[in-house]
Structure 1
Amino acid sequence: MTDVSHRRWFGLVFISLAVALIIVDSTIVNVAIPSIVDDLKITSTQVQWVQEAYTLVFASLLLLFGSLADRVGRRRLLLIGVVLFAGASVAAALAPTGDLLILARLVQGVGGAMMLPSTLSLLNATFRGRERGIAFAVWGSTIGGMAAVGPLLGGWLTTSFSWRWAFGINVPLGIIIIVGVLWAVAESRSEQRTGLDSVGAILSVALFGSLVFGLIEGRTLGWWTVDDPFTIGGWTWPWTLSPVPVAFAIAALALIAFVAWSRRRAREGRSTLLDPRLFSIATFRSGNVAALVVALGEFGIILSLPLWLQFVRGFDALQTGLILIALAAGSFVASGFAGASSGKISPVRVVRLGLVAEIVGVIAVGVVVGADAGEHGLWGWLLPALFVYGIGVGLATAQLIGVILQDVPVALSGQGSGTQSTARQVGSALGIAILGTVLFSSTAGILSHSLDERGLEAAQRDQVVSAVVDSSGAAISGLASDPATAEIGGDAKVAFSDATRLAAFTAAGFLVIGLVVLTSTVVDSVDGGFASDAEVVPV
C-alpha cells in the first residue's frame, strides 16, 4: 500500500473542495449579473447566455467524461478539468466584452464536466465499506451546502470588491486543489483498456445538450411558437416554430439512436459509452430516477425563494445569501449524521429520512411565505424551515449516491458517476422549467385577476404584468415605492408571494414522488459494499 493511500482522508478534503468549486460557480454568477450588465453593457440575450452557457455544456458532457475517466485515469481527468476550469476563470475575470465572457463560461462548463464525475468515481475507487459511506456523505452534503453558499459568496465578492472576483477566486482554489490531489489522491482506472465509443459520445452530447437547452429555454423562447427571438451572434432563428420543440425532437431521436447503438456494441462485445447492463441493476436504475425527481424538487427553494426575499421583502443579495446559510448549515450537519450512520443504517432508509425532512422543510417555507409575513414569522419560522430542508438535502443527496452505485462494479464507476450526475443535472433543468413556469405563470394569473378587480384597462394591466414577470419580480419595488402605483405594487407582492408558495408546494409534490419511487423499488440493505472492488487498478 502506497503512502498516498494513507492520505485518503486528506484527499477527501481536496476532492470536496473541487466539488464546491463546481457547484458554487453554477450559482455565484446569478448574483453578479447586475454588476456585469453595468460594467460590460451586455444585452439581455448575452445575460441569458452568461448564465446558461455553463449549465448547457456541463450537462451535455458529464456522461462522456464520466466514461472517459474510467479509461484515461480518474485523477488525471480531474486535474485536467481543474486546470481548464481555472484557466477559463482567468479569462472570465479579465473579459472585456460579453461575448468573451460567454466563451469563457463555455470552457468552464467543459472543465466542470471533467471534474464532477471524476470526483465521485475517485471516492468510489478509494474507499471501502463504512468509509465509503462517510466519503459519500461529505461529497453529497458539499453539493447541497454549496448551492446555498454560492449566492452569499457572490453577493459578498460583488458588493465588496468586483464581479470579476466571482471568477478570480477560482484560481487560488484551483491551485490548492491541484497540489492537494497530487499529494493525497491515488490514480485509478479500469482494467479494460478499450477505445472510446466515439459515435456514442456524439449521440450523448446531442441528446443531453438539446434536452437541457429545451428545458432551460422553453419559458423564454416559447414551448411551441416563438415568444422571444433566439439569437446567436448575428443570426436569428427565422421560423415561427420555436427552437424548443425542435431541440426536444433532436433529443428524442438521439436517445433512440444512442440506446440502439449501445445495445449493438454490447452484443458484439465492444466498449460502450454507457454499458446497457447497468440499467439491469435495480438500485442503479431506480436510484437515478429518484435522483432526477429529487433534483427537480430541490429547486422549489433555490429558484424562487431568493427572488421573493429580494423583490418582495426588500433584502439585498448579501442578506439573502446570509439567510440561505441556514440551508447550508443543515446540509453540513446532515453529513455528520450520514457519516456516523454509515454501515449501521441502510442508505435507502437515510435517503427516505432525508426526503421526508425536505418535504417538511419546503412545505414549512411555503406556509411562511407571504407578502404580509411579519418579521417574527419570517425569522422565527423561515430559518428553522430552511435548516430542516438543508438537513434533508444533505441526507438525501449523500446517501442516494450510495444507493445508485451500490451494485455497480468499480471498473464502471466513472460511467455510473457520470450517469447519476447527468440525471441530477437534467432534473435541475427540469426543475427550472417546471417550477419557473409555475412561479411566473401563477404570478401573471393572480396579478391579472387582482388588477381586473381594480378596474385597470386591459392594456395597462398587461403592461404591469409583463413588467413584473419579465423582470422576475424586480419591477415590484419600483411599483410599490411610487405613490401613484403603490396599490398595484402591493398586488404584485401578494401575487408573487402566492406564486412562490405554489412553487414550493409543487416542489414538495415532486419530492413525494421521489420518495414513493425509492420506497417501492429499492430494497433496504445496510451493506455498503460494491461489486467487483477488485477491479480497481491503483497506479
Structure 2
Amino acid sequence: MNDIRASRRRWLGLLFISIAVALIIVDSTIVNVAIPSVVEDLGLNSTQVQWVQESYTLVFAALLLVFGTLADRYGRRRVLLIGVVIFALSSILAATAASGELLIASRLVQGIGGAMILPASLSTINATFRGRERAIAFAVWGSTIGGMAAVGPLLGGWLTTYFSWRWAFGINVPLGVIIIIGILIFTMESKEPSAQRRVDIVGALLSVVLFASLVFALIEGRSYGWFFSDTPPDFWTWGISPIPFVFALALAAGIAFVRWGFARERAGKSTMLAFGLLRIPSFRNGNIAAMIVSLGEFGIILSLPLWLQNVLGYDALQTGFVILALAIGSFMASGFAGAFGNKITPVTIVRVGIAAEIVGILIVALSLNPDAAWWQIAPGLFIYGFGVGLATALLTSVVLMDVPLSQSGQGSGTQSTARQVGSALGIAILGTVLFASLGSGLDAKLANRPEIPAEARTQIVDLVVDSAGTGISTLDEKLPDAAADAREAFTDSTRYAAFAAAGFLAIGFLASLRLDGARRGDDDAEGEVERTVNDAKSTDG
C-alpha cells in the first residue's frame, strides 16, 4: 500500500513539474502570436521585437548552469519553487508594462525564474525516477515541451483576440499558484549531500558574459553594422561598429570559462560545467545535437506568426489555430514514442524526429506565398510538430542516460543550457535572416517602380522592417503596389528563414549520427560512468 501511495505521489509530482515546464515554454511561444498587437500598442521596432523574445532567452541560457548547480546543492524543489514565484511576479510586471523598455526589462526577470525552473525540474525527475519509469518520465517531460511550444500560440491567439495581449502574461499568475500548491504537496525535496557547497562565482560570471555577449552581437549586428556602422549606439564614439568587439568578448569569455573550469576541476574544486561529464560520449554528442536542433527548431516560430498575420491578414486566434497543427503532430509523436520506445532505440527515434522536422519545415517553406490558404501550411506544420515531439521527448533521456545521479543537476543544467543557447542563437540568427532579407528584398522590388522616388523607397522599407511587418497594412490605401511588394518580400524572407532553419536541423541530424544507439541497463550504465568520471578526475588531479 505504501509503495502504491509513493508511486502515485511521484507521478502526481511529475504532473505539476510538467505544468511548471509548460509555464515557461508556453510563455516563450505565446508572445510570438501577441507580438503584432504589442507592436501596435507599445510602438516597438523590429529590434525591440527580437529583444522581447531574446531578453528572456538570453538570461534563461546564461543562468541555467548556475541554477542547475544550486539546485543540486541547496535543494531541487526549493529552487523550483523560488523560480515559479519569480516567474509569476515578473509576469505581472510584463502584463502591466507601459513601454517596450519596461516589457523587455520584465522579460529579463522572467528569464531568471525560467532558468531556475527548467534544470530543477530535470534534476528532480532524474533523482525521483529510476529504470523504465525514468524513461517514461522524461518522455512526458519532453512531450510537454514539444506540445506546449505549439499550444502557446493558440492560447496566446485566443487571449489576444478576445481580451488583450497583456493576458498572455497575466495567465501565468493563477497557473503559478496551482504549480506551487501541487509541488508542495506531491514533490519531495532532494539534494546531493556530497555536492560541494561553494559556488564557482568566477565561472558563473564568465558563462553569463559568454552567452549574453554572443546573443547581443547576433541581434544588434543588423542595427549597428557587422563591422562599419552609420548608426552606432549613443555610448560608442569609435568609427567602427561595436559588434566585432562584442564577438571578441564572447570568444575571450568562452576560452577563459573553459580554461578556468579545467583548472578548478584539476584542483578538486566545484565548477559550473561538469567537464568530466563531457568525456561521456552520449552526454557530449547529445548536447551538441541538442544545441544545433534547438537552433533550427525555435527560430522559425518567430517568423511564421508574423507572416500569417501581416501577409495573410489572419488575426491572433486564427494564427493560433494554424499553428495548432504543430501541437497535434507533437502530441501524436508522444504516443508513437510510447508505443515503440521499447522496440526502437531512443537514438533512432530522435533521428526519425529530426528527419521529420526537416521534411516538415521544407514543406512549409515551399508552401509560402502571399495568397496561400491555411490548409497548404498545416500539413508541413503537422509533420514538423511530429518531429519536434519525437526529438524533444527522447533527446533529453539520451543525453542524461549515462550521467551519475550525484551530478544530475549539473548534467541537466548543461543540456538545458545547450538547448537554450541553441534556441537563443536560432532566434537571433534566423531573426536577422528574416529582417535583413526583408529589407534588401523590398528595396530591390521597389527599385523597379519608377513612380516611387528613392527617398520614399527608403521610408517604406524602414516602415515595414522596423514595424516587423505590421506597417504593411498602412500601405494598402495609399500605395497598394508597394503593399503587394512588401507582402511578397516578407514571404520571401520568411521562406529564407525556413530554409536556414532546415539547414541547421540537417547539421543536427548529422550530429546525432555520433550518438550511441545501444541501450544499457540504467544501474549498470550509471555505475560504469560513475567510475569513468571518478577515474578521469583522479587522472586530472
| TM > 0.5 fold call | yes
Q: How far off its partner does 1:30 sit?
A: 4.0
Distance 1:446-1:528 versus aligned 2 partners, 3 A rule = farther
The aligned residue for residue 469 of structure 1 is: 465
Q: How far off its partner does 1:533 sit?
A: 7.3
Residue-by-residue CA offset, 1:174-201 (whole Å, 9 max, x unaligned): 1111111122222222232312122211
| In structure 2, distance between residues paired with 1:255 and 1:192 | 28
The aligned residue for residue 207 of structure 2 is: 204
1:403 aligns with 2:398: yes
Q: Secondary structure at the match of 2:257?
A: helix
Distance 1:359-1:36 versus aligned 2 partners, 3 A rule = closer
| In structure 2, distance between residues paired with 1:70 and 1:469 | 45
Of 412, 415, 435, 1:417 maps to: 412
| In structure 2, distance between residues paired with 1:15 and 1:511 | 28
Of 210, 216, 219, 2:219 maps to: 216
Residue-by-residue CA offset, 1:412-436 (whole Å, 9 max, x unaligned): 1111111111111221122123222
1:281 aligns with 2:280: yes
The aligned residue for residue 496 of structure 2 is: 502
Residue-by-residue CA offset, 1:35-91 (whole Å, 9 max, x unaligned): 556666788887665444322222210111111111111111101111121222233
The one-letter amino acid of 1:301's match is: I
The one-letter amino acid of 1:357's match is: A
The one-letter amino acid of 1:207's match is: L
The aligned residue for residue 172 of structure 1 is: 174
Q: Is the 8 A contact 1:332 1:394 kept in 2?
A: yes
Q: How far off its partner does 1:24 sit?
A: 1.6
Q: Pairwise mapping of residues 99-110 of structure 1 onto structure 2 (< 5 A)?
A: 100-110=102-112
Q: Pairwise mapping of residues 137-536 of structure 1 onto structure 2 (< 5 A)?
A: 137-194=139-196, 195-226=198-229, 228=231, 230=233, 236-373=235-372, 375=373, 378-379=374-375, 381-455=376-450, 456-479=452-475, 481-482=476-477, 484-519=478-513, 521-527=514-520, 529=522, 531-532=525-526
Distance 1:426-1:461 versus aligned 2 partners, 3 A rule = same
Distance 1:432-1:339 versus aligned 2 partners, 3 A rule = same
| In structure 2, distance between residues paired with 1:42 and 1:301 | 20
| In structure 2, distance between residues paired with 1:115 and 1:227 | 41
Of 10, 24, 27, 2:26 maps to: 24
Distance 1:435-1:36 versus aligned 2 partners, 3 A rule = closer
1:73 aligns with 2:75: yes
| In structure 1, distance between residues paired with 2:289 and 2:17 | 25
The one-letter amino acid of 1:529's match is: D
Q: Is the 8 A contact 1:311 1:474 kept in 2?
A: yes
| In structure 2, distance between residues paired with 1:204 and 1:11 | 31
Distance 1:37-1:465 versus aligned 2 partners, 3 A rule = closer
Q: How far off its partner does 1:472 sit?
A: 2.1
| In structure 1, distance between residues paired with 2:37 and 2:480 | 27
Q: How far off its partner does 1:399 sit?
A: 1.1
The aligned residue for residue 534 of structure 2 is: none
| In structure 2, distance between residues paired with 1:44 and 1:287 | 34
Q: Tell me, which stretches of 5 or more residues in structure 1 are unaligned? A: none
| Range with greater deviation from structure 2 (198-207 or 1-10) | 1-10
| In structure 2, distance between residues paired with 1:96 and 1:446 | 33
* Identity over aligned pairs, percent: 62
| In structure 2, distance between residues paired with 1:443 and 1:94 | 32
Q: How far off its partner does 1:34 sit?
A: 5.3
Q: How far off its partner does 1:470 sit?
A: 2.4
Q: Is the 8 A contact 1:369 1:497 kept in 2?
A: yes
| Range with greater deviation from structure 2 (83-92 or 279-288) | 83-92
Q: Secondary structure at the match of 1:269?
A: coil
Q: Is the 8 A contact 1:132 1:528 kept in 2?
A: no
Q: Secondary structure at the match of 2:446?
A: helix
1:115 aligns with 2:114: no
| In structure 1, distance between residues paired with 2:172 and 2:64 | 20
Q: Secondary structure at the match of 1:283?
A: helix
Q: How far off its partner does 1:156 sit?
A: 2.1
| In structure 1, distance between residues paired with 2:398 and 2:487 | 42
| In structure 2, distance between residues paired with 1:163 and 1:23 | 17
The one-letter amino acid of 2:207's match is: S
The one-letter amino acid of 2:497's match is: A
Distance 1:80-1:267 versus aligned 2 partners, 3 A rule = same
Q: Is the 8 A contact 1:57 1:209 kept in 2?
A: yes
Q: Is the 8 A contact 1:218 1:433 kept in 2?
A: no
Q: How far off its partner does 1:442 sit?
A: 2.7
Residue-by-residue CA offset, 1:342-369 (whole Å, 9 max, x unaligned): 3332111010010111011011111111
Q: How far off its partner does 1:150 sit?
A: 2.2
Q: Secondary structure at the match of 1:253?
A: helix
| In structure 2, distance between residues paired with 1:424 and 1:352 | 17
| In structure 2, distance between residues paired with 1:187 and 1:474 | 48
| Range with greater deviation from structure 2 (277-286 or 192-201) | 192-201
Q: How far off its partner does 1:277 sit?
A: 1.0
The aligned residue for residue 536 of structure 2 is: none
| In structure 2, distance between residues paired with 1:340 and 1:465 | 51
TM-score normalized with structure 1 length:
0.90
The aligned residue for residue 538 of structure 2 is: none
| In structure 2, distance between residues paired with 1:507 and 1:216 | 17
Q: How far off its partner does 1:126 sit?
A: 1.6
Q: Is the 8 A contact 2:195 2:406 kept in 1?
A: no
Q: Tell me, which stretches of 5 or more residues in structure 2 are unaligned? A: 531-541
Q: Secondary structure at the match of 2:371?
A: coil
Distance 1:502-1:94 versus aligned 2 partners, 3 A rule = closer
1:84 aligns with 2:86: yes
Distance 1:402-1:453 versus aligned 2 partners, 3 A rule = same
